[in-house]
Amino acid sequence: MKRSRREFLRDTGCGLTAAAIVSSLDRLSIVSAMVQQQPEVAADYKALVCVFFNGGSDCNNMVVSLDQFSSYSAARGDCSTPGATPNLGLAQSMLVPINPVSGGHFGLHPNFSPEVANPAQLAGLLGPWNQGKLAILCNYGSLLQPTTKAQYQSNAGGAFRPYQLFSHSDQINQQMSSIVKTTGQTGWGGRIADNTGSLNGVTVLPMNVSVSGTNLFETGVTSRQLAIGTGQLQTVLNLNWNGPASATPFTNGSSFRQLLGFDTGRALIKTSSDTMNQALSADQTLNQPDPMLTATFPGTSIGNQLKQVAKLIKIKDTLGMKRQIFFCQIGGFDTHTNETSADPTVPNGAGGQGNLLTQFSQAARAFYDEMGAQGNSNSVTLFTLSDFGRTFQASGSGAGSVGSDHAWGSHGFIMGGAVLGGTFYGAYPTLDVNGPDDDGGKRGRWIPTTSIDQYGATLAQWYGLPANLLTTVFPNLSKFATQSLGFLG
């Protein structure tokens, strides 16, 4: 009884013009908003790809200052030495050395480029770094305004401490919303879409697509995200029907569809129905054969997510998209214990940061290579976010491998053809629990020196958000002198 997509498309008689589909979807505010905006469609294509490191990735092991290595190893010990206490630090010999144009000597976590230590491994990010297409934004985070250690500690007038620092849920909210004084109701990716929808013209798909579930980042005031899984596009949204033909939900005007338009004054019912409506419309549009990809993506969760994004980008013209914001995530970074393994060149067991960085770096590298093969390098920028950084000092001790606790400033990775890379942006912290970047708790919670607003605004400007709308999307941006960090050309 299950009907093929082809039959469905034929029977619904849409002719598949975008306008025809849109006209049947007037309940979706996003679509009507777009129609009303008299779009000036962009000539070029651009996409932002957010990869969220869920749980708070330990930035202190992601990028290690070799110039401060003695402080680092004194605080964190050496995970490669059996019985060392603590065993949170990486040995200098493990690190992948890099010399950013901005100065200094640093080492990347070995799992950012697993092939360096073990050529049998799929390649990671050293290649893009060496090509100048990977930039690192140091010690960014949620800030109400530029904040010194003394200001943080006095918190005069409540003006210096973002709401609920160090809490997972609240800091994820702030990374995604850039609203740091309270709990954000919309994400900055969503608000970018609210204000740049005209660049896409009239499309069936929304600007924002998640391949990892519902997220605040892509939720705007009016914009809603399409959330799909991984796997073949033709089956990624698949509504089954084994009932009588006359009752099929595939037909416009069927009872199934009528019900979606009833009781819309009830907020919860409306949200549920809107979600189904969006699925029904995207279903048709996404019914495309999978394009051939050049790069080989690892079979990990993040590999599959970025592969799905790469497929959608490859068929962007078929989908009629000019601007897209994608959301992916990789979880498990909440490494209170078992953060390191004795030999990071061999990806360690579940939960370890190295294992996750291997998954990320190999998937991101495949994505980078694929964008190159598609000729979309300069059009697509991938960037990372995470809840927060983690304490420089280890959490507790014990028989097993230790980890680190929740902290504040973290490092972001930005990669793509348009990235002015091979260098650091922002300021790398002083690795000293009594130093100027510590919040005063003496555990190495770094006070950020760049705000999430600046990070987001830099990406948004490249994407095409007009300058006069920057503070609409990033209400707190005016507190910071620099509105573009310069990592995108």
Binding residues for another protein restricted to 269-328, rule: CB under 8 A: 269-273, 275-276, 278-279, 282-283
Binder of another protein out of 443, 450, 459, 488 (CB under 8 A): 443
**Nearest to 135, CA basis, from 412, 321, 454:** 412
Of the candidate spans 127-135, 145-153, 211-219, 369-377, the one that interacts with another protein by CB under 8 A turns out to be 211-219
Q: Specify the residue, 107 or 197, whose C-beta has the smaller distance to another protein.
A: 197
Binder of another protein out of 4, 74, 266, 486 (CB under 8 A): 266
Q: Does 73 bind another protein (CB under 8 A)?
A: no
Size of the site for another protein (CB under 8 A): 88
Considering only residues 340 to 369 of the shown chain, the ones binding another protein according to CB under 8 A are 351
From CA 391, how far away is CA 446, in angstroms rounded?
A: 8
Q: Does 156 bind another protein (CB under 8 A)?
A: no
Other CB atoms within 10 A of residue 1 CB: 9
Of the candidate spans 66-74, 232-240, 305-313, 475-483, the one that interacts with another protein by CB under 8 A turns out to be 232-240
CA 366 vs CA 123, 211, 373, 384, 403: distances in Å: 8, 17, 10, 16, 29
From CA 104, how far away is CA 101, in angstroms rounded?
A: 8
**Least distance from another protein to the Cβ atom of residue 417, Å:** 30
Binder of another protein out of 314, 336, 365, 411 (CB under 8 A): 336
Other CB atoms within 10 A of residue 14 CB: 16
Binder of another protein out of 13, 132, 213, 289 (CB under 8 A): 213
Q: Specify the residue, 71 or 102, whose C-beta has the smaller distance to another protein.
A: 71
Instruction: Please name the residue ranges forming H helices in 254-348.
Output: 255-260, 267-285, 301-314, 316-319
Binder of another protein out of 43, 120, 156, 268 (CB under 8 A): 268
**Least distance from another protein to the Cβ atom of residue 273, Å:** 4
Residues 6+ apart with CB under 8 A from 258: none
Q: Does 214 bind another protein (CB under 8 A)?
A: yes
**Least distance from another protein to the Cβ atom of residue 256, Å:** 6
**Least distance from another protein to the Cβ atom of residue 422, Å:** 35
* Burial grade of 36 (CB within 10 A; 0-12, 13-18, 19 or more): exposed
Q: Which amino acid is at 59?
A: C
Q: Which amino acid is at 395?
A: S
Q: Does 113 bind another protein (CB under 8 A)?
A: no
Q: Specify the residue, 440 or 466, whose C-beta has the smaller distance to another protein.
A: 440
Q: Does 472 bind another protein (CB under 8 A)?
A: no
Q: Does 395 bind another protein (CB under 8 A)?
A: yes
Q: Does 377 bind another protein (CB under 8 A)?
A: no
Contact 28, 361 (CB under 8 A): no
Binder of another protein out of 94, 394, 418, 431 (CB under 8 A): 394
Binder of another protein out of 400, 434, 468, 481 (CB under 8 A): 400
Q: Does 55 bind another protein (CB under 8 A)?
A: yes
Q: Give the helix/strand (H/E) hosting 18.
A: helix 18-23
Which tokens belong to 108? 């990347």
How far from chain centre, in Å, is Cα 464? 18
Q: Does 23 bind another protein (CB under 8 A)?
A: no
**Least distance from another protein to the Cβ atom of residue 487, Å:** 30
Please state whether 194 falls in left (phi above 0), alpha (psi between -120 and 50) or beta: alpha
Residues 6+ apart with CB under 8 A from 222: 29, 30, 33, 194
Q: Does 397 bind another protein (CB under 8 A)?
A: yes
* Burial grade of 43 (CB within 10 A; 0-12, 13-18, 19 or more): exposed
Considering only residues 235 to 264 of the shown chain, the ones binding another protein according to CB under 8 A are 236-244, 246-247, 249, 254-256, 258-260, 262-264
